[in-house]
Amino acid sequence: MAQRRVLHDEFFKKAKAEGYLARSAYKLKEIQERHRILRSGMRVVDLGCAPGSWLQVASEIVGPKGLVIGIDLQDVRPGLAANVRTIAGDIFTTDAAALLPEPDAKFNAVISDMAPSTSGHGDDALSVRLCRRVLELLPSLLAPGGACVMKVLEGGGYPDLLRDCQRLFAKAKGLKPKASRDLSREIFIVAEGYRPVTAAKPTSVAKAAPKPGPGWGS
C-alpha cells in the first residue's frame, strides 16, 4: 500500500505556532545551521518567494541592516518585516536589474525554493529548468564569493546541474533537510564561493519557462 502523505506534520504545526507562513521555513533554517550562508547585514534575493517563509527566515538572520528582496508570480502576504521588499513578476521575463536594490549593488546570496506545477510526469526536468534559470541570472545578481541555495527534484538532470554548480562555486553539494517530506524527491543544492570570472558556462540553459502553479514558491 502506498504511504499516505501526512499534511499536518510536526513542521506544519511548529510553523503555525511560531508564526511562519509555511513549514518550508525549517528547511532554510537547517541549511543555515549547517552552512551559515546568511549573515547579519547581507543583501539576499529570494527567487520564487511565495508564500514568504524563506523571506521571514532570511529577514531574521540579516537583521535591520540587511535587505531581503523577493519575487514571485503571486503577491506575497503583507505584514513582513521592514527589511523585506517583494515584487510580483516572472523570473523568466523580469529584468534582473529590477531586482537590485541599487545599480551595481549585487546580492550576497541568492536563495530559491521554487517548484513548477507538478503533474508526476517530467517534474524533475521542469525543476532543473527553473534551477538553470537561476544560474543564468547569477552573473547579474550575485556578488563574487556569494552563496546560492536552490531546490531541485532529483532525476536525470540533477547530476549535470550539480556539476555545473561545482564549476561556478568553490564548493557545492546536495542536502535534504529534515523538514522535507519523506516522499518528496526534493533536494537543495547549497553552493558557496561564487566565481563568476573563472566559471565555466553551464552545459544548458532554460529556453522556456515551465508551466507555473499559483506561484513559483512551494
* Average pLDDT of span 172-178: 94
Give residue 116's pLDDT band: very low, low, confident or very high (50, 70, 90): confident
pTM, 2 dp: 0.85
* Average pLDDT of span 77-84: 89
Q: Residue 203 domain-assigned?
A: no
Considering the chain, what is the average pLDDT of its residues? 86
Tell me how crowded residue 146 is: count the other CB atoms within 10 A of its CB.
Answer: 24
Range of the domain at 102: 10-194
204 vs 179, higher pLDDT = 179
Q: Residue 143 domain-assigned?
A: yes
Q: Residue 217 domain-assigned?
A: no
Q: Assess contact for 169 and 194: CB atoms under 8 A.
A: yes
DSSP 54-81: HHHHHHHHH-TTSEEEEEESSPPPS---
Q: Which residues are catalytic?
A: 151
pLDDT the model gives residue 3: 45
Q: Residue 43 domain-assigned?
A: yes
Radius of gyration of the chain (CA): 16
Q: Assess contact for 23 and 179: CB atoms under 8 A.
A: yes
Angle of helix 10-18 versus helix 25-35 axis, rounded to 10:
90
- Give the span between the Cα atoms of 163 and 190, in whole angstroms: 12
Q: Residue 199 domain-assigned?
A: no
147 vs 76, higher pLDDT = 147
pLDDT the model gives residue 49: 96
- Give the span between the Cα atoms of 113 and 189, in whole angstroms: 11
DSSP 116-163: PPP-SSSHHHHHHHHHHHHHHHHHHHEEEEEEEEEEEE-STTHHHHHH
* Average pLDDT of span 40-52: 97
**CATH label of the domain that carries residue 151:** 3.40.50.150
Q: Which of 80-84, 166-170, 208-212 bottoms out in mean pLDDT, i.e. has the lowest?
A: 208-212
For the chain, give the percent of residues with pLDDT over 70. Answer: 80
Taking CA 80 as the corner, what is the angle to CA 68 and CA 58, rounded to the nearest 5 degrees?
A: 35
* Average pLDDT of span 8-26: 73
Q: Residue 52 domain-assigned?
A: yes
* Average pLDDT of span 190-207: 65
pLDDT 10s digits, 147-156 = 999 999 998 8
Q: Residue 4 domain-assigned?
A: no
Q: Look at the chain and report how many structural domains it folds into.
A: 1
pLDDT at 137 over 90: yes
For the chain, give the percent of residues with pLDDT over 90. Answer: 65
Q: Residue 216 domain-assigned?
A: no
200 vs 131, higher pLDDT = 131
Grid coordinates representing 128 are 532543473
- Dmax (CA) of the chain: 56
